[in-house]
Structure 1
């Protein structure tokens, strides 16, 4: 792989706050040399055994078997109406018989209720609109059908028919659905209290793929929105034709329904008849009012556990667990991301999985260099930042002096560790936040997302490294062809994120809108990670500029935090703008100075640093950016971050070649065989590699 020169330039230009010489060494020589243990909000290491659940909850009913094959998309798309008044449910047509149906009957298609619904539709139309309007509506519908039969295209704008103003909201709702059920080739749109009827161009498009009868029934099915119902197109032997139907339904209604193909029973193996079945997505009814009893019966189970993983990317670990448990990756929540090349312990919570089910897969996941323990029921999921910090046990090997430094190595180590212990380190975001060693860093993807350049962001994500392996071969193929389906066949199964994007791109296409839908295959925490990476990069550059411009002095226009015990998300009310008088009186210390992490709800310093921020935003084309990406449902309020931090409980020990203790005064051990075992705690969002860089005065 080519050397990551951008990374080297970026991180070699970062400042140091201590003046010692430092030393050189190697970290992460093996995963066991870098151990990370999360510290929970109570200050406890998460790998400690727990006898009692942290949260006590009432016993929940056992879930019905959820162990179905999970989809590769990491998060179900949330349902949004195609327009605020375009789709309505005719409750009487779907609910009258529902209470008397068996589970198998509830799986029947909407077609079984057609005659009943048609009668009720006629009753509704006769009740709420006069005879003349009803006749005109029927004539309008006939005219639309005749134009389509004659293959006459509509002139822009397409014809409309108004039912007039209907003041009563419930009557309007019933009319919307009654018309759409009686005339599925029409759509209704609300304009204030007026109902306007138009041709359903999506219906006409579907008629080019399936019979008119099927198109009518399909749109009736969509409008009825009967829970647990399904719609099945007629069996089809033509694979390319089925693919076209899949594409149409997913492109137009992918947020509402999902499609699957099933072969007929007793089909011909050589040339099977296959039917496409359409079902509503689970989340389509999440906003529907339910009785208290229903809510209790469907209450979600949450199971907390500690995850130990070794040399495994976090999202790969979650993807594997999801596969074994029959859930999707977005059902997992966590407090923070952890390194890949390390042994890490972190708290996690999984939805819809009982503790018993999780315990049943313990032996299977051991083969993947993972363990789960401290398994117990809890009342809710975790959120990012819900931790106090992390504990690190790190071995630095191949110790040696800096070039042209002939001072005793042990003295240099003692000097360096004591300095950082007392003075702290510059609180940079670490290189792993940006994708160390990669051609394209995560902050570049984040910048593209902030500028709503969705296709560019996808292409950046799939930029290959100069490696001849299956992953990079698949990425090269995708950039050359934009063939998502073909790339899926090349992309290894363990690349969960890549495959999730490819599956969505195959469904929605490589357009701007298709790429927006593809990003929704990532959970919110992963989508916003890329935007945060851009903000983090700018913060790193800002703190370097601040220290180079003003040093360790606190000057007029600086922002300081008035609270001694803060995390990265403290409110703006605790941030104070330093006055000229306060600068002269030396009221504040450098460790109180904070800089804003970009967002829509922050203030900038009122000195040269503030001007620098605005210049950088202009450089990157974000001078008018509001740090909101509505298309991806991303809102970035921003926060403040202290420019200096301290390691807590820092201790260290020199080790010989065979991990034997070496006292500082001993000289019989060859320095080439020395290793340093160093342990410390860091607050949340602080990076051990950055702390080690300050200690060693050497990029690690």
Structure 2
């Protein structure tokens, strides 16, 4: 899922997305963020049947202003995301320089001049078919020095010791690595005084984080598991984040700048520990809203309200999928242990499918013949493929086993989506009951834990009463995502949780299913989030293809700041703000615009 959600999206029918910006022409814009998909000519949708915000509990607003129309994410360059690290610093790509330790670690002259020239020529020509044999003294220490020099000064190449003359002598063979995976985990090739991880800043455009890591690994011939990052970032955007790589040279990463398009690698340094999922404190957004119809006064009022009061921390529409079969409906079936229904929902026809899947899903709806559907299934539909393969084998508990065939992180997202639906619905009901004032029975987290957001915590929330109410504000209030470890508000909101879950056939007091994998402990989420570092700029423009905000790579390349054109045809609003983890930028934009952020509404806004 995109950066705001920090989870992988479940989208049964992924639409392709080119590396180029869409052309300037009259067209409808798909602003759904789940995979950043653009509308394709082979995608079939019925807008009347698509989910809208009210279908997933998104109803209320904080502010009283009227809002105005604008297009969200018309181009991927309109959505720029910079990770905020655990120290609170905005991560930016500012340099391609190699750390000093990389330059001075070994002396290249341990390789004789003739062999150095051969190696340089090999690298310059990118000649993967030749090899260089270096004759060395029969000394392990000497060979080690040469191996290290090759690693540091010719990082694209791989060296190995070979026997010659029936093992009487040992030489060093240098080649471009031909194997699929080049081992970066060789202690003999890594200086003892250098930390084991290279931390670098990854800039990418219009690519998913995991896909980007796969491309890096393929180009470097290393395993993807050598790379670690704090979270995934939006696909249809320009994003910057930190990554660590285990025993991978900075120079090898720097060389990728010459061969990988729409990416940047820099700000290298060596560190002793890897990044872990969740090790960020949020994201800084630079967003461009185009075709703005509001007056300058309306814009000022809306942005000022966001800055002063924040926004309701709803889970955005991308949490619930892009088709008429929502992910939370699958999650509800799973929690009710109706695995047959859950599987049917995954496979049944839906608006939003591409043409290749319409006939395929029709087979399932008419025949329930898993093998026949599997034979017709396009190669890239991995979730359906996993499910159908198990169903085609029949056997006991086949529907449960079919769900188990889906990768764990993906199948749990169905359940998480249902939790998100309940949370959205409950925060709307809580606001309808009590507004934005703190009331007895509300839940808050201790100040030290507020920054942890939606992550699981082994703490009990504080219940608001007459004595402690003065110590907190509405910004401290949390509501639970339902689960077997949760404490619920002691006011009327707690009862509403029970009623809403009961309507869906789920007992709030017994949320542990007999299958541990689908039992969720729950967690707490802030009701209201107030962004920081809020800035705005109004820009007039004439060309829809013109970028209106600079990315890190633009700044590094010396691109000039876009200028507002006096008398321009269209008005754009450039917004900047920072959000903590687990907060959706689209929900902040919703509070400003007062328009539906769902695909069904956004697709009605034409470029011209």
Scaled to the shorter chain, the TM-score interval is 0.5 to 0.7
Q: What is the CA deviation profile of residues 538-561 of structure 1, one whole-angstrom value per residue up to 9, with x for unaligned ones?
A: 111111111110112211211123
Kindly indicate whether structure 1 or structure 2 has the higher relative contact order, using CA contacts under 8 Å at least 6 residues apart.
2
Answer with 24-33 or 565-574: which moved more: 565-574
Q: In 1, distance between residues paired with 2:52 and 2:323?
A: 8
Shift in CA distance, 598/11, structure 1 to aligned 2, threshold 3 Å: closer
Partner of 2:63: 18
Partner of 1:335: 230
Shift in CA distance, 351/542, structure 1 to aligned 2, threshold 3 Å: farther
The answer for unaligned runs of 5 or more in structure 2 is 1-44, 106-195, 543-547, 549-561, 598-608
Contact persistence 2:93–2:240 (CA under 8 A):
no
Partner of 1:694: 591
SS in structure 1 of the partner of residue 283 of structure 2: strand
Contact persistence 1:596–1:640 (CA under 8 A):
yes
Partner of 1:655: 539
Contact persistence 2:91–2:242 (CA under 8 A):
yes
Pick aligned residue for 1:28 from 68, 73, 78: 73
Contact persistence 1:12–1:699 (CA under 8 A):
no
Partner of 1:601: 485
Partner of 1:147: none
Contact persistence 2:461–2:487 (CA under 8 A):
no
Residue 2 (str. 1) matches residue 46 (str. 2) = yes
Residue 393 (str. 1) matches residue 286 (str. 2) = yes
Residue 438 (str. 1) matches residue 438 (str. 2) = no
Shift in CA distance, 11/532, structure 1 to aligned 2, threshold 3 Å: closer
Shift of 1:654: 0.6
TM-score under structure 1 length normalisation:
0.54
Shift of 1:627: 4.0
Shift in CA distance, 7/381, structure 1 to aligned 2, threshold 3 Å: farther
Q: In 1, distance between residues paired with 2:212 and 2:370?
A: 24
Q: In 1, distance between residues paired with 2:385 and 2:217?
A: 14
Q: What is the CA deviation profile of residues 168-192 of structure 1, one whole-angstrom value per residue up to 9, with x for unaligned ones?
A: xxxxxxxxxxxxxxxxxxxxxxxxx
Shift of 1:19: 1.4
Partner of 1:96: none
Partner of 1:417: 303
Shift in CA distance, 449/353, structure 1 to aligned 2, threshold 3 Å: farther
Shift of 1:44: 3.5
Q: In 2, distance between residues paired with 1:303 and 1:630?
A: 44
Partner of 2:573: 676
Partner of 1:552: 436
Shift in CA distance, 653/489, structure 1 to aligned 2, threshold 3 Å: farther
Shift of 1:597: 1.6
Partner of 2:494: 610
Shift in CA distance, 515/394, structure 1 to aligned 2, threshold 3 Å: same
Q: In 1, distance between residues paired with 2:535 and 2:250?
A: 37
Alignment of 1:127-526 (within 5 A): 307-313=202-208, 334-348=229-243, 366=261, 382-401=275-294, 409-435=295-321, 437-466=322-351, 467-481=353-367, 487=373, 490-502=376-388, 504-505=389-390, 509=393, 513-526=397-410
Q: In 2, distance between residues paired with 1:479 and 1:357?
A: 51
Q: What is the CA deviation profile of residues 380-399 of structure 1, one whole-angstrom value per residue up to 9, with x for unaligned ones?
A: 76544221111111110011
Q: In 2, distance between residues paired with 1:390 and 1:469?
A: 36
Q: In 2, distance between residues paired with 1:534 and 1:371?
A: 37
Shift of 1:303: 7.4
Alignment of 1:29-108 (within 5 A): 29-48=74-93
Q: What is the CA deviation profile of residues 574-630 of structure 1, one whole-angstrom value per residue up to 9, with x for unaligned ones?
A: 6211224556xx553211211112122121001110000011111111106644456
Which structure has the highest helix share of the two? 1
SS in structure 1 of the partner of residue 66 of structure 2: coil
Q: In 1, distance between residues paired with 2:498 and 2:531?
A: 32
Contact persistence 1:520–1:632 (CA under 8 A):
no
Contact persistence 1:653–1:676 (CA under 8 A):
yes
Q: In 2, distance between residues paired with 1:450 and 1:505?
A: 21
Shift in CA distance, 492/538, structure 1 to aligned 2, threshold 3 Å: same
Partner of 2:9: none
Q: In 2, distance between residues paired with 1:302 and 1:358?
A: 12
Q: In 2, distance between residues paired with 1:481 and 1:332?
A: 44
TM-score under structure 2 length normalisation:
0.62
Contact persistence 1:562–1:574 (CA under 8 A):
no
SS in structure 1 of the partner of residue 452 of structure 2: coil
SS in structure 2 of the partner of residue 10 of structure 1: helix
Shift in CA distance, 318/529, structure 1 to aligned 2, threshold 3 Å: farther
Answer with 519-528 or 25-34: which moved more: 519-528
Partner of 1:620: 504
SS in structure 1 of the partner of residue 70 of structure 2: strand
Q: Over aligned residues, Cα RMSD in angstroms?
A: 3.9
Partner of 1:182: none
Shift in CA distance, 521/5, structure 1 to aligned 2, threshold 3 Å: closer
Q: In 1, distance between residues paired with 2:223 and 2:386?
A: 11
Contact persistence 2:313–2:529 (CA under 8 A):
yes
Shift in CA distance, 477/570, structure 1 to aligned 2, threshold 3 Å: closer
Partner of 1:205: none
Partner of 1:578: 464
Q: In 2, distance between residues paired with 1:621 and 1:632?
A: 19
Contact persistence 2:205–2:235 (CA under 8 A):
yes
Q: What is the CA deviation profile of residues 47-94 of structure 1, one whole-angstrom value per residue up to 9, with x for unaligned ones?
A: 4358789xx9xx9xxxxxxxxxxxxxxxxxxxxxxxxxxxxxxxxxxx
SS in structure 2 of the partner of residue 600 of structure 1: coil
Contact persistence 2:208–2:232 (CA under 8 A):
no
Alignment of 1:638-653 (within 5 A): 638-653=522-537
SS in structure 2 of the partner of residue 596 of structure 1: strand
Contact persistence 2:69–2:593 (CA under 8 A):
yes
Q: In 1, distance between residues paired with 2:249 and 2:379?
A: 26
Contact persistence 1:333–1:381 (CA under 8 A):
yes
Shift in CA distance, 552/334, structure 1 to aligned 2, threshold 3 Å: same
SS in structure 2 of the partner of residue 24 of structure 1: coil
| Structure exhibiting the larger radius of gyration computed from Cα positions | 1
Q: In 2, distance between residues paired with 1:643 and 1:465?
A: 32
The answer for unaligned runs of 5 or more in structure 1 is 60-300, 402-408
Contact persistence 2:456–2:523 (CA under 8 A):
yes
